Structures are given as structure tokens and as C-alpha cells.
Structure 1
């Protein structure tokens, strides 16, 4: 039996599929089965897959298009190993990805899932950016946004089955990772082990953007109710702010609304800090809370008219930031 399963769903992926397959087949760690499930492709995806004769490839074909979540759940059930590494058909694994993630899971048997950072690339493979996420803050930030790139994860099959596998349409990865983090240790390797490709067919950015946006809102409320109670709710503009989209709040230009949004965030942070969890590390959590609150306040202040920025900081009692704001203004006047 192989040491792990690489699970890759495919749907009309002919453009980038060969590069994705070869990035797996050329891994420095080779003891795996490569479970590829075609979800009813109508292009040349199946032809491309059949062009490889590597014995590690295990190809299955859905009789009809099921969608990403049912296909992934099918793959999890059919995987012959406890460890499952996710892969997408338009991304590129770095050669040592599986070696490093497998070694981490072997050394940390209490960890249910390990992920990594990514290099974000364009359709043509050109570098776009590399997010500098601090791995110590992943558990806290998973309450607000899915920092974890889905095709970077390697997880334990029993833990994923225990939490119900993929259940949420358009938010399947976010929901699964959040559920895992409630009961099991998770970890992110602080290095890029995958090139994550952004294309003009990206579901969450183009084809199904409205559905994904709504799923994100529902997911956030689900997360917050875990801490604040089943009836807890928030306006959409606050939910957007917590995900660093300040458009609605800034459009209103109401200091009272900005203040109330930050008070809600502080309330939620108190609830999160009071909830014990296997991933809870007090110092890292306190730092994550500090950085999130400070980033939101600083960003809003920079985009507000000066008099409203002053009123906002006064109401929050952020006198140090108010002093910095005034000092910066005086410096500009002297210049």
C-alpha cells in the first residue's frame, strides 16, 4: 500500500492539466497513489489523463457531472490511504511539497491537516504575489477568512470523515477547515510549496462570484455563532469589514457606524479568546487579535476625512494612533 493518496478532481481542465499532473509525478517523494476523478469533462481532459501510463495513476470517471464537493467526498471514501493530499488541475506543485508535508505529518501524529503558503501566478504562470501569512495566526484568522489554499492541504482521512467531509456549497473548503480546527490540530508550513493559478475561469472570482460571496457571509455567521450564540447576527457591511472590504462602511461616512463595527469585532475577539481549543496558543492569539484590530482601524483612518478620523479615534480611545495622526499632519505642514 502507498504512503499517501493525491486526490485531484478534473473538470474541463485541458489547458493546464498536463502541467498539474507532471508536477505530481515528478515529486521527490514518490510513494503515493494519484487518484484522478474526472467529473464529466467535455473537452480533452480524459485524453490527456490517458496519455500517461504511470502505474501510480488511478483514474475514475463520474457518470455525470456531480460538482466539486460530491466528487471530493467520493475520492476521500475511495482513497486507499489514511493521508490524502489535495491537488487541483490548474495548479503546480513544487517538487518537494509531498516530501515536506509527509515528513511533518509523520513527526506530528496528532496533527489532522498541514497546508503551506503559495506563489500566486497568472494564467501564463507569471508571478503575481506571495502572501506573507504568519502561520501562528492561522487558527484565529480562520474565523474570518480562509487563509488556507485548498490545493496545498494534506489531511488525515479519519479526521475529515469525522467532521462530515465537504458539506457546504461554494464554501466547501472553508467549512471543512473550520470544522477540523474545532477538534483537531492544524498547521501551515511557512513556505510556498505550490503555484496557485488565477484564471479567467476561476469560479470564486468570475463564474460564481455572487454564490461564493453569499456562502462567505453564511460561513462567517456560522463561525461567529459558535462563539457568540445561535442568534448572533451582524450587518453585511460589518461582515465585509471583518474580511477587509471597507467599501460599504466608507461609503456611509458615519463615525457611529465605524465605531460600532469595531466594538463588535472587539466583542467577538473576547469570545474567541475565551473559547479553549486544541489550536489555542495564548501569545499567538493575542498578537493576531492586536494586528487585526490595528490593521482595520489604521486602514479606515487613512481613508476618512481628517476630522472624522480624529472623531473615530477619540471614540475608540486610540490616543496613541491619534497622536501619530496629528504628528504626521504637523510634519507635512512643516515640510
Structure 2
């Protein structure tokens, strides 16, 4: 078993990033390496890392802002070990994450992806379970007791019906991810795109119900106009149509049908409509409703 590379593409809140780093430092299994790639300009951050005094932690700041996908790609290029995690800058690794991931990989060294059990927390770090996460857990996610191995069209259909994955918590096989890379012009659907691409190459995912990670979900403010523009659903629509064509060509017709339907994405858009109306964002409400009806074209 090799060391686990933990990549942290960072931008944003300093305190949350520091909490994420401390959670890595607190791992019960010490065989890890943390690489932080700073895509921002927050003051005092380089000094904070210099004072950590842990040779397993490395930090670098980008000379120019690379954006989400650009920083993901840079992090991927810095991975040196056989497996890695692309951790969220505001998420928390529970102390058993590395221990659990390495145990699974020891038993299954060729697995492309490991999805551990995840607890959702809010902006203050309190466990929470909103409508989106209840749907993920109760409707879309497979039932797992212990470990469950999934792959192929079966897993693709499950995810395209409703993406129940937590991207920052997944442990990836480096060679597999570097072979497909991250797609251009995607942000909110980048995680699902990567997994579908890996499934088409024959990679498998091991799912465990052992909770080892906390995913932070911040509340959407009703006063945030950007949250209700519908832009994220324009990207989602392009993604689902493109994937459907790819899957048809791959011979996965049932998965292609699930992608064209993208029911959970349309339901999510429907839940955003009242906020758009209340926020007086008429164009956003129209975009959301077109997505709900399946009549959007971009």
C-alpha cells in the first residue's frame, strides 16, 4: 500500500480551509501527503502553512487565478501516488478516513473509485439533512450494508437518475483519472462527468456505509440573485444531452434514456422557482421552468 495523496484546491474562506487542513492532520493513519494549491490572494495564508511544521503538508499559491477546473487540473498533475482525494476546501475528514480508504484499497487495489459514508453538515459544522440530501439518501442512493461494488451501466443509470455522490469525499485511482481528465466548460457537473467517463472505460466503484467524511452544504440565501438565475441548469442541460449521445454510441441505451430524462435535476430546478419569483428574478424563473418542462435548448 502506498501513501494516500490528499489534494486541496483552495479558494475562499480561510477559517474553513484551516479546519479542513486540521482534519487531515488528525487522521488516525499517518500515511498521507497533503498538497494545497491556493487559487486566491488571501493574506497570511502562506505564513500559516509555513508555521505548521509538518513535512507531509506542502503549499503553493498560483501566480494567476486558474478557476475551478484549472485548479483541479493542476492538482491532478501534482498527484504522485497511486490513489488520491480531491478534497473540498470547506469539508472535514473524520479521523478514520485514510485508515478506511487504505483498508479498502488493500483489498481492492484495482478499484477506480471509493465512495465512503458521508455526513452532511451546515456552514456552522452542525449535522443537517435538507430536502436534497434526504432525496439522495432515500430515493437515489443504493442501499449498502458494509461494502457494495458497482460499475457499468447499472451505476451510470443510478447516478443519472439522481447524483448521490459526494465528489470531495471520493478516493480515486490516479492512473484512471489521469487517463480521462476533467472536461472543459463544466463546473457544477464536473464530478458526474468524470465518473461517467470512468465507468465507460470499465472502472468500478466500491461504496461503503462507514462514515468517514463531512460534506459542508451551505444554505442558499433567498436574497442571492445569482442563486436563482438558472445558469447552473443551463450547464446541466448541456451536460445531460451530451452524455445521452455518448452513452447511446456506447451501447448503454437505458443510461442514455436516464440522462435525457434527468428527472432529479428537473425536480431540483422546480424547488428553486419560488425563490426566483420571490427574489423578482423573472428571467431566472423562466429558465428554471424551461428546465423543469424539458424544453430548454442551449
Of 248, 261, 270, which residue of structure 2 is paired with 1:228? 248
1:63 aligns with 2:80: no
- Aligned equivalents of 1:201 and 1:44: distance in 2? 29
Cα distance, 1:208 vs structure 2: 6.4
Aligned to 1:12: 12
- Aligned equivalents of 2:157 and 2:262: distance in 1? 17
Larger Rg: 1
Correspondence 1:1-335 to 2 at 5 A: 3-129=3-129, 131=134, 132=137, 133-134=141-142, 138-170=155-187, 171-183=189-201, 184-199=203-218, 210-228=230-248, 239=261, 241-243=263-265, 245=267
SS in 2 for 1:16: helix
CA 1:247–1:30: 2 relative to 1, 3 Å? closer
Paired residues in the alignment total: 243
Cα distance, 1:140 vs structure 2: 2.6
Give the superposed CA RMSD. 3.1
The answer as to whether partners of 1:143 and 1:224 remain within 8 angstroms in 2 is no
SS in 2 for 1:109: coil
Stretches of structure 1 that go unaligned for 5 or more consecutive residues are: 252-260, 262-335
CA 1:247–1:16: 2 relative to 1, 3 Å? closer
The answer as to whether partners of 2:83 and 2:173 remain within 8 angstroms in 1 is yes
Cα distance, 1:2 vs structure 2: 5.8
Stretches of structure 2 that go unaligned for 5 or more consecutive residues are: 145-149, 274-292, 294-298
CA 1:247–1:219: 2 relative to 1, 3 Å? closer
SS in 1 for 2:197: helix
- Aligned equivalents of 1:190 and 1:108: distance in 2? 16
* Structure having greater relative contact order (Cα 8 Å, sep ≥ 6): 2
The answer as to whether partners of 2:162 and 2:262 remain within 8 angstroms in 1 is no
- Aligned equivalents of 2:57 and 2:225: distance in 1? 31
SS in 2 for 1:69: helix
The answer as to whether partners of 1:119 and 1:196 remain within 8 angstroms in 2 is yes
TM-score, normalising length from structure 1? 0.64
CA 1:240–1:178: 2 relative to 1, 3 Å? closer
Cα distance, 1:166 vs structure 2: 4.7
Aligned to 1:269: none
- Aligned equivalents of 1:199 and 1:91: distance in 2? 11
The answer as to whether partners of 2:85 and 2:169 remain within 8 angstroms in 1 is yes
TM-score, normalising length from structure 2? 0.71
Cα distance, 1:176 vs structure 2: 0.8
The answer as to whether partners of 1:5 and 1:85 remain within 8 angstroms in 2 is yes
The answer as to whether partners of 2:37 and 2:61 remain within 8 angstroms in 1 is yes
